[in-house]
Amino acid sequence: MPINILMPALSPTMEKGNLAKWLKKEGDAVKSGDVIAEIETDKATMEVEAVDEGTLAKIVVPEGTADVPVNQVIAVLAGDGEDVKAAAASGASAKAAPAPASPVAPVSKPAPAIAAATPAPAAKPEAPQPQSPKANGSNRIFSSPLARRLAKEAGIDITSIEGSGPHGRVIARDVDAAKSGKGFKPAAPATAAASAPVIAPALGDEKIRALYADGSYEVIPHDNMRKVIAQRLTASTQTVPHFYLTVDCNIGKLTAAREEINAQAPKDKDGKPAYKLSVNDFVIKALGLALQRIPNANVSWTEAGMLKHKHSDVGVAVAMPGGLITPIIRSAETKSLSTISNEMKDFAARARARKLKPEEYQGGTTAVSNLGMYGIKDFTAVINPPHATILAVGTGEERAIVKNGKIEAAMMMSVTLSCDHRAVDGALGAELLVAFKTLVENPVMMVV
């Protein structure tokens, strides 16, 4: 029986991917472990391996195709001894038919996908329902798991959406229409029970374009990364109760220590130093140690209970064309400054080339966003769930301060901690920020 090759889910947030390149052509023999394709996800370009052997009978989705849904058939593999032509002929019907299994896997094993990113199980046969989900007198709303998740992320009450699926089922396209201000149910009679409040729909694309003259702009389609960033950060601001704490740090000792350490770094035969520390490397180390000193802040919120993490896995925002990604320094509290520095240089280079592995940017317990290199004095950053905090770091600059009743110049840096109030209360967030400030202002404490 021919084996359908499916578009794999290479990250928890992936719903669609771009089939960038086929590395095998129709008729080629495929062995287990062979890299057969390159797929662009919302975060990276990943190679995909075959896990079965056979002959690539038919390529269903040509290379260069964008927005291929997860679990859609992309190719058909004929097993050993099978008729390749017959397997290829089944390729056309394979698009809609459920496949027994996907014989491909990413080269690097991704972290387990969240339930919403996995395909829903096939629905059991059920008796025909009335067109209106509530016509039978019950309060049950028929909707797909994906539609429920999209509605929750958009802050839209799914009971207010008119379903267009079978028997009035609310599906993903109905939620997309609701985001544009369309597809809502007519207002209920005054005697009906009050439903949850519905947020005002965003201004639709057509209304926005109508504000500008034709020819005065060009439309640049969103890539997968930009779409996911928009979805996740919109959900974060709507569902995570943020509050912010700001403190000024005197980094005079830190900058002096950085210069001295860099000056004494060992060099190779070409004169290249083994490492070159940045202020951000000290920030990462200090935040990792601060979370160990204030362990109740090293947490993630879940509805069932708080996840209290044993290690400080610090994500670091890295700008890249079209968006950003947050590779993670694992167990930052245990690593030397030089190790952190070299890991970050490697992560930044591979992030910009979209070559990071999913386990290198998924998870983490907190994050750092540093805009100091742009001269930004201070700012607030949006928390990236499941993190409960993120530290926004401004530029280091000379400022006039008062010390012992006298005005003097000092190298100062402002940092702002964004906290998820469900997990980190005001006093706890303040304790964490004080612990961070103490370490940054006394960098010798980071090496003892």
Same domain membership, residue 144 and residue 113: no
Predicted local distance difference test score (pLDDT) of residue 180: 72
Same domain membership, residue 372 and residue 338: yes
Whole-structure pTM value: 0.64
The domain that holds 53 is classified in CATH as 2.40.50.100
What total of structural domains would you count in the chain? 3
Residue 140 pLDDT > 80, yes or no? no
Say how far apart CA 245 and CA 227 lie, in whole Å. Answer: 29
- What DSSP state is assigned to residue 316? E
Domain limit, last residue, from 87, 117, 147: 117
Beta strands in 61-120 (DSSP E): 65-69, 73-78, 104-106
Predicted local distance difference test score (pLDDT) of residue 96: 41
Q: Has 421 been annotated as catalytic?
A: yes
Identify the band that residue 198 occupies on the pLDDT scale cut at 50, 70 and 90: low
Same domain membership, residue 164 and residue 141: yes
Domain limit, last residue, from 117, 143, 171: 117
The domain that holds 135 is classified in CATH as 4.10.320.10
> Which of 167, 242, 311, 421 is labelled catalytic?
421
Same domain membership, residue 145 and residue 72: no
Asked if 163 contacts 171 with a C-beta cutoff of 8 angstroms, the reply is yes
Tokens 């429920």 label which residue? 148
Say how far apart CA 11 and CA 15 lie, in whole Å. Answer: 9
In a domain, 287, yes or no: yes
Same domain membership, residue 299 and residue 366: yes
Between these two residues, 98 and 271, which has the higher pLDDT value?
271
Same domain membership, residue 81 and residue 146: no
Predicted local distance difference test score (pLDDT) of residue 141: 65
Which residues, 6+ apart, have CB-to-CB distance to 316 below 8 Å? Answer: 280, 284, 326, 327, 328, 329, 344, 347, 367, 368, 370
User: Phi, psi at residue 34, to the nearest 5°?
Assistant: -70, 135
Residue 438 pLDDT > 70, yes or no? yes
- Other C-beta atoms within 10 Å of 284: how many? 28
Same domain membership, residue 101 and residue 170: no
Residues 325-334 have pLDDT tens digits of 999 999 999 9
Residues 14-39 have pLDDT tens digits of 788 888 889 988 888 888 888 889 88
**Across 8-12, 387-391, 444-448, which has the greatest mean pLDDT?**
387-391
Domain limit, last residue, from 178, 194, 222: 222
- Strands 406-420, 389-403: parallel, antiparallel or unpaired by DSSP? antiparallel
Predicted local distance difference test score (pLDDT) of residue 130: 38
Residues 74-133 have pLDDT tens digits of 988 887 777 777 777 766 555 544 433 344 444 443 433 333 333 334 444 443 343 444
Asked if 57 contacts 76 with a C-beta cutoff of 8 angstroms, the reply is yes
Tokens 């000092």 label which residue? 410
Domain that residue 39 falls in: 3-117
Asked if 36 contacts 23 with a C-beta cutoff of 8 angstroms, the reply is yes
> Per-residue pLDDT averaged across 269-287, rounded?
94
